[in-house]
Structure 1
Amino acid sequence: MNRPGFDVKPLTPERWSDLEDLFGPQGPCYGCWCNHFRMPQRLRKPLLGDGARQLFEDRVKKGPPPGVLAYADGKAVGWLQVGPRVDVPEWNNPHRASTPLPDAPAEDARNWAASCFFVRRGFRGRGVTGALIEGAVAFARESGARLIEAAAMDNEEKRSAEGLYVGAESTLLRAGFVEVARQKPGRPLLRLVL
């Protein structure tokens, strides 16, 4: 799972400290620690910060890996939460851009979601997201997934880095994803069949 300049590896318990270093003491996205799509807001919000960090660390220790890390010179520079849709139940809610389609139900663990991206400052715009997607595709294939979906942002040039935590449409299209639905304005549901 390598792209020139980047090495992409699944997030295993041994790599937890690399993720902590990447996310920083507060965690990305206002202390979410990649729990946004894992539980309803009423349960998630009181945990923001240390509680969310502990919850996600416990998830990583339990396994299987909930995503992949991109490394440059041995330092984690990017993260992509990717795995079965069933692991991110809030991503599957009706009325979301990521609502599952009938031909790819959330209950089928072979249907995967690329739900959260994060790239370290100083590395944005340098191909980290593309490397993460390539690594995620390899990881998904090795894990028996049949497809990966992402509910990306279009017009990404107008979005902040935080606003692009769901991924940029143009990067996913370059990686071979195709639009299969547009359930919300500005948020295409993109799919790559493996």
Structure 2
Amino acid sequence: MSPVADMSMDIDGHEVVPLLPETWDLFAGMAGRTGLFGGCWCVHFHCLPDPPEREEMGNPAFKRMLVEQGVAHAALVLDDGEAVAWAEYGTLTELPNIQHRKQWEAETVVPPDFRITCVQVRKDHRRRGLGSVAVKGAVALVAAAGGGRVESYPHDLPPGKKMSASFLYNLTRTTYENLGFTYVRPKGQGNCVMELQVPPA
């Protein structure tokens, strides 16, 4: 059995694996294919302030370094041996930077244990619920790490308004509500704070 198979989970009939050095090539295959908002490689949320080595190394090498150091986490959804979706998660130390951070800091009384900062689905696999599968995978990995309170910051769209999936970097409020998250408060223009208490596995 391959190392990837050893660490895989079945979630809603889909294979999900954690982002680790052993699964880096799966992540890189999707990140390199989609471009991810101008080639960000889900690095932005790790950096506060932006370290000089990020520019020196470039986003792919910098992200790989974080994975090898064990401070970059994600749940990867696989299809036919390729990553087609993921949800990035981590502690606040690992992911200190979020959109509307100053507002969040001013309004937060008790910080969460973990946060989900980015959910991506490959363009040719959208509208299949794989974003939800990725979030469920992240929650399962949090549970395996001991559980805790998880926050996420999805888009909070008014009724009838639609947004291109290319710009939905963290799904929608409705999606998170369907996953059991509770609405906490608005954040910035068109986003919100939602939370879920995850028991240990």
TM-score over 0.5 for the pair: yes
1:101 counterpart residue number: 108
Structure whose CA Rg is larger:
2
Aligned equivalent of 2:193, options 169, 186, 189: 189
Equivalent in the alignment of 1:58: 65
Q: Are 1:79 and 1:119, in contact at CA under 8 Å, matched by a contact in 2?
A: yes
CA distance in 1, matches of 2:55, 2:34: 12
Give the structure 2 partner of residue 139 of structure 1. 141
CA RMSD of aligned residues (A): 2.5
Cα displacement (A) at 1:132: 0.7
CA–CA distance in structure 1, aligned partners of residues 59 and 186 of structure 2: 31
Contact between 1:180 and 1:191, CA under 8 Å: does it hold in 2? yes
In 2, Cα distance between equivalents of 1:131 and 1:191: 17
Gap runs ≥5 in structure 1: 106-110
Structure 2 CA distance, aligned partners of 1:100 and 1:151?
14
Give the TM-score, by structure 2 length: 0.82
The answer to whether 1:148 aligns with 2:150 is: yes
SS at match of 1:140: helix
From the superposition, tell whether residues 34 and 99 of structure 1 become closer, same or farther in structure 2 (CA, over 3 Å).
farther
The CA deviation at 1:42 is: 5.9
Structure 2: gaps spanning 5 or more residues = 1-8
- One-letter code aligned to 1:17: D
- The amino acid that maps onto 1:158 is K
In 2: Cα distance, 1:185 partner to 1:25 partner: 30
Say which of 167, 174, 181 aligns to 1:170: 174
Matched, 1:14 2:22: yes
Identity %: 28
Aligned mates of 2:23, 2:106 — CA distance in 1: 31
- Listed one character per residue, the Cα deviations across residues 77-131 of structure 1 (whole Å, up to 9, x for unaligned) are 11111111221111283125x87721225xxxxx111101111111111011111
Deviation at 1:151, TM superposition (A): 0.8
- For normalisation by structure 1, the TM-score amounts to 0.85
- Structure 2 vs 1, CA of residues 86 and 126 (structure 1 numbering), >3 Å: closer, same or farther? same
